[in-house]
């Protein structure tokens, strides 16, 4: 899939490939090829270094972007999956289990939204939009992590919690609220990295954490920019403006003190070089888990409480 | 509201004396439809006369993202409601028993949860802890306040961390859900209560019915997301008529406070 703003890059790439084909083994077109390669390099830097917020949202949604499965497979040498909410079913939109991370050998509970890798798994995983049973499975695993003193590691990648009849019948809001409460009191380190989409409550249920990292082109937002444009600007065509206004990019959120770190992506986005992005996340996880491994459970909960209790902007009122 | 002291019920279509509506706290005398109730009226309904003391009244919203149109929307809401934001909080007595109380007002930007709502609710929870009071929250909200972007989202986390402290103690938290309560408010403090009461017919859920119909093209059953639907699905403890709510809370607090 080619994103709109990637078109000039793709065109240069195609022309270079064509010249190579025409030139065959001869060096006749080498000068022209070199010139185009220079132009390609410049275009890449110019375009990718200045992505607008809405372009980043598109990169975050790119179907080739490495997903939970890719991270899980590369970063852990044993993933012991655990399923089900013990009540209704198993929601494949979120997965979790016990995992041993290759970097540092840490035993953790690893969770994440699973957007799937091909059409079939994408549909099966409902594009990473979980139902209440998914959020209840997640809560079960948060509590299991607490019981066994294992850090909770979450890879967030969801357009949002699913909005549908079944979800409402089974208490979507209740399930998310319970996750927020469970994370708030988890007596183990909670480490969340947003690897793609961070859509509203469905993402927050998995990132009330001691450390929140964001890949450079991921986003976290209270609402999808398209929906925001429809509601606030009454014009879904103004999604790019809404994305700008919502301050949903990793850099904006770091600046506002909402997240701890922006993890760099390869030029053009994680889908251009998945292994580089995955390695970046793996390194961050090792560093953060090591840093929190000696933390006292009470102190962790206290610090997490302070962190989220503080966020907000209001002019102080009388307290009396 | 029409002129001449008459209005028409939007549910049954019958004419109602506005005076009747006022004395019945916005419940239709013909069909018992519960219209939204402004927070000051709700406080008058629930608390013993003269017992309510508002807290954090002077707290006002910032515009953290400099979002187009937000300041204007805020000043219009302030002017139209006389409130400073979408929740009024403080201490009052219910049947002689002091409680910490937070009451939302749907008229103020759809009862949306921004930083002031989150902060006032969190402070009310902490006030209840500090003074050993039961906590009562009355919700009416369309969800997040988009103008505050991620700050609005973070109020879900804020109220949740505050609540985890409160529920470590043995004081009760009662949540009253009124029409409509959706989104961020239901996905955080409004559903994390010991006892959840809803008003008859109130629409309560995560996503609104229109959004669901648009995204899934599912046909939704009659009464979808009403208080009765939520009770039947195990999400709400009781449905209580507005005019019986004070007495119902007094009974409940008699057991657990
Ligand atoms: Zn009526």
Q: A289 vs A120, A184, A275, CA distance in Å? A: 34, 18, 21
Cα angle B101, B107, B224; round to 5: 85
Give the model's pLDDT for residue B218: 86
Q: Do A223 and B144 touch (CB under 8 A)?
A: yes
Q: The whole model's pTM is what?
A: 0.96
Chain B, residues 4-63, CB within 8 A of chain A, namely: 55-63
The distance of Cα A291 from the centroid of its chain, to the nearest Å, equals 22
What is the per-residue DSSP string for A212-240? EEEETT-EEESS-HHHHHHHHSS-GGGHH
Q: Which residue of B has its CA nearest to A172?
A: B206
Match 């444009």 to its residue by tokens.
A229
**Considering only CB atoms, which chain A residues are within 8 Å of B63?**
313
Q: Report the C-alpha gap between B144 and A227 in whole angstroms.
A: 13
Residue A211, strand partner residues? A191
pLDDT at A313 over 90: no
- Mean pLDDT across A106-134: 95
Q: CB of A123 within 8 Å of any CB in chain B?
A: no
- Mean pLDDT across B128-146: 97
Percent of chain A with pLDDT over 90: 87
pLDDT at B241 over 50: yes
Contact B25, A290 (CB under 8 A): no
Percent of chain A with pLDDT over 70: 99
pLDDT at A318 over 90: no
Give the model's pLDDT for residue B3: 56
Chain B, residues 174-233, CB within 8 A of chain A, namely: 182-184, 186-192, 205-207, 211-212, 215-216, 218, 220-221, 224-225, 233
Tokens of B118: 């989150």
- Mean pLDDT across A266-271: 94
Q: CB of A118 within 8 Å of any CB in chain B?
A: no
Percent of chain B with pLDDT over 70: 98
pLDDT tens, position by position, B197-239: 999 999 999 999 999 998 888 889 999 999 999 999 999 999 9
**Is pLDDT larger for residue A32 or for residue A61?**
A61
How many alpha carbons fall within 13 Å on the CB side of residue A77? Answer: 6
Which of A185, A222, A317 lies nearest to residue B149, judging by beta carbons?
Answer: A222
Which of B154, B164, B211 lies nearest to residue A185, judging by beta carbons?
Answer: B164
Give the model's pLDDT for residue B4: 67
Contact A93, A131 (CB under 8 A): yes
- Mean pLDDT across B22-39: 96
Check: CATH 3.90.226.10 for A57-310?
A: yes
Q: Report the C-alpha gap between A168 and A125 in whole angstroms.
A: 18
Tokens of B95: 């049947």
pLDDT tens, position by position, A57-96: 999 999 999 999 999 999 999 999 999 999 999 999 999 9
Chain mean pLDDT for chain B: 96
**Is pLDDT larger for residue A48 or for residue B42?**
B42
pLDDT at A227 over 90: yes
Q: Do B58 and A317 touch (CB under 8 A)?
A: yes
Which of A169, A185, A246 lies nearest to residue B149, judging by beta carbons?
Answer: A246
**Residue A237's pLDDT band (cuts 50, 70, 90):** very high
Q: Do A164 and B216 touch (CB under 8 A)?
A: yes
Give the model's pLDDT for residue A138: 98
ipTM of the complex: 0.97
Q: Which residue of A has its CA nearest to B147?
A: A246
Percent of residues in chain B assigned helix, strand, coil, to nearest 5: 40, 20, 40
Measure B12 CA to ligand 1 centroid, in angstroms. 4
pLDDT tens, position by position, B38-95: 999 999 999 999 999 999 999 999 999 999 999 999 999 999 999 999 999 999 999 9
- Which residue, A109, A56, A83, A71, is CA-closest to A216? A56
**Residue A319's pLDDT band (cuts 50, 70, 90):** very low
Q: Do A208 and B157 touch (CB under 8 A)?
A: yes
Collapsing DSSP to helix, strand or coil, B101 comes out as: strand
Collapsing DSSP to helix, strand or coil, A197 comes out as: strand
- Mean pLDDT across A12-36: 87
Give the model's pLDDT for residue B1: 44
All structural domains of chain B, each given as residue ranges with its CATH number in brackets, are: 1-35 (no CATH), 36-256 (3.90.226.10)
Give the model's pLDDT for residue B2: 46
């Amino acid at each position: 899939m080619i994103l709109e703003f990637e078109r000039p890059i793709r065109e240069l790439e195609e022309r270079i490939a064509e010249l190579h084909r025409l030139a065959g083994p001869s060096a006749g077109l080498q000068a022209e090829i070199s010139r185009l390669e220079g132009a390609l390099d410049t275009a890449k830097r110019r375009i990718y270094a200045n992505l607008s917020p809405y372009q980043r949202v598109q990169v975050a949604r790119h179907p080739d972007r490495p997903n939970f499965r890719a991270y899980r497979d590369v970063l852990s040498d044993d993933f012991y999956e655990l399923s089900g909410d013990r009540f209704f079913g198993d929601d494949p939109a979120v997965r979790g289990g016990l995992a041993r991370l290759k970097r540092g050998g840490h035993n953790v509970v690893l969770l994440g939204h699973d957007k799937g890798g091909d059409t079939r798994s994408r549909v099966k995983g409902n594009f990473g939009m979980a139902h209440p049973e998914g959020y209840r499975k997640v809560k079960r695993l948060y509590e299991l992590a607490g019981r066994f003193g294992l850090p909770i590691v979450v890879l967030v990648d969801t357009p949002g919690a699913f909005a549908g009849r079944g979800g409402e019948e089974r208490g979507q809001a209740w399930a998310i609220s319970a996750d927020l409460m469970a994370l708030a009191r988890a007596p183990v380190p909670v480490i969340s990295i947003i690897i793609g989409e961070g859509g509203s409550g469905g993402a927050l249920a998995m990132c009330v954490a001691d450390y929140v990292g964001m890949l450079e082109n991921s986003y976290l937002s209270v609402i999808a920019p398209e929906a925001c444009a429809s509601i606030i600007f009454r014009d879904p065509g103004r999604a790019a403006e809404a994305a700008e206004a919502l301050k949903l990019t990793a850099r904006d959120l770091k600046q506002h003190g909402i997240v701890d770190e922006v993890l760099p992506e390869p030029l053009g986005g994680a889908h251009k070089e998945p292994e580089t992005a995955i390695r970046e996340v793996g390194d961050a996880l090792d560093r953060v888990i090591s840093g929190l491994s000696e933390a006292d459970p009470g102190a962790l909960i206290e610090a997490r409480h302070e962190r989220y209790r503080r966020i907000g902007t209001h002019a102080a009122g009388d307290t009396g | 509201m029409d002129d001449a002291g008459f209005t028409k019920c939007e549910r049954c279509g019958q004419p109602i004396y506005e005076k009747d509506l006022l004395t019945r706290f916005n419940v239709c005398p013909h069909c018992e439809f519960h219209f939204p109730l402004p927070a000051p009226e709700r406080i008058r309904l629930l608390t013993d006369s003269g017992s309510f003391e508002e807290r954090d009244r002077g707290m006002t919203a910032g515009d953290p993202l400099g979002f187009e149109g937000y300041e204007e929307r805020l000043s219009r809401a302030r002017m139209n409601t006389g409130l400073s934001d979408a929740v009024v909080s403080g201490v009052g007595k219910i049947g002689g028993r002091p409680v910490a109380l937070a009451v939302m007002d749907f008229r103020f930007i759809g009862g949306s949860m921004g930083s002031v709502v989150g902060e006032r609710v969190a402070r009310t929870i902490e006030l209840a802890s500090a003074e050993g009071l039961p906590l009562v929250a009355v919700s009416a909200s369309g969800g997040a306040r988009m103008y505050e972007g991620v700050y609005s989202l973070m109020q879900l986390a804020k109220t949740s961390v505050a609540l985890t402290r409160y529920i470590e103690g043995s004081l009760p938290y009662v949540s009253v859900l009124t029409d409509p309560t959706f989104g961020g408010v239901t996905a955080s403090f409004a559903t994390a209560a010991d006892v959840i009461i809803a008003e008859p017919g109130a629409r309560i859920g995560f996503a609104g019915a229109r959004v669901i119909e648009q995204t899934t093209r599912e046909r939704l059953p009659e009464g979808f997301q009403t208080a009765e639907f939520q009770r039947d699905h195990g999400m709400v403890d009781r449905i209580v008529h507005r005019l019986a709510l004070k007495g119902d809370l007094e009974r409940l607090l008699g057991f657990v406070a």
